[in-house]
Amino acid sequence: MADEASVREVEVDALSRAHFTAHDATAASGGRSRRAVCYLIGDSITEQANDPMNAGWAALLQHKYVRSVDVINRGLSGYNTRWFVQHALPVIENELQHEYKPSLLTLFFGANDAALATGYAGGQHVPLGEYRANLAHIIRSLTPHLPPRAKILLITPPAIIDSARKGGERTNEAAGEYARACVDIAQAENVPVLDLYAFFNTRYPNEAARSTLFSDGLHLSAQGNAVTLALLEHAINDIFDDVELARFKTMQLPDFGTFL
């Protein structure tokens, strides 16, 4: 079973190296006086990541860096890449141009695009070729609005627990096709990618064990959030140099002890 001990093990071991690929890309952040920003884009798996009652990975990320980093969550429940491009991308571009200058921007799409066209969630389905094109378009549209040394991190859709999705509207096999496409686009666009799908299915090949990482076979449980955060932290440490990591880890204002 994927119990608390295994979650702690994930946090301290280096297994994620097998499924995290950092490609050469422009790195660094904007002005040194600016507080570091993590800007999270995705679907419900990102939106729900702020849920403190489920120990959401974004809430945990903000807690870890509360004195040094602002975590901005722009997760949109139910969205696929098509709807994001059509309805959200202009809003996000405006925010990045005028409000936020992220050091890290995550793109975490695919769980809805991979919904089966013939299932009850077929309205969310996006063909694989369009999904690829949409991801590339999003990356190319957002990059000009980022600081010169910022990083975009693609995150693949995670696994699906087939036995928990009674309607059969999503499958682990289909999610894998979209995850591999996400990895391909990351390589083509020269951005790093965190392959959650490969990690979840390799680390927990037994579905019964893997299911403890999910609340409903699609969205993450508290344990799944803890694993995701551990992998994200590993990715952050991998893709940023020491100067950029210092911005994540250095408090914006001094500790009160310095005043005593």
- Give the closest residue to 88 by CA, choosing from 49, 138, 125: 138
Give the strands of the sheet with 36-42, arranged side by side.
20-21, 193-194, 151-155, 104-108, 36-42, 69-75
How is 68-97 classified by DSSP, letter by letter? TEEEEEEE-TT--HHHIIIIIHHHHHHHHH
Q: Which two tokens stand for residue 72?
A: 């901005």
Beta strand pairing call for 151-155 and 104-108: parallel
Could you tell me which of 246, 194, 247, 245 has the C-alpha nearest to residue 22? 194
Instruction: Give catalytic status of residue 44 as yes or no.
Output: yes
Q: Which DSSP category does 214 fall into?
A: B
3 is annotated as an active-site residue: no
From 3, 13, 216, 241, the catalytic residue:
216
| First CA to last CA distance, the chain | 49
Q: Which residue out of 44, 68, 141, 221 is catalytically annotated?
A: 44
Q: Half-sphere exposure of residue 195, counting CA atoms within 13 Å on the CB side?
A: 25
190: left (phi over 0), alpha (psi -120 to 50) or beta: left
Note if 98 is an active site residue. Answer: no
Given the residues 215, 219, 221, 238, the one annotated as active site: 219
Residues with active-site annotation: 44, 216, 219
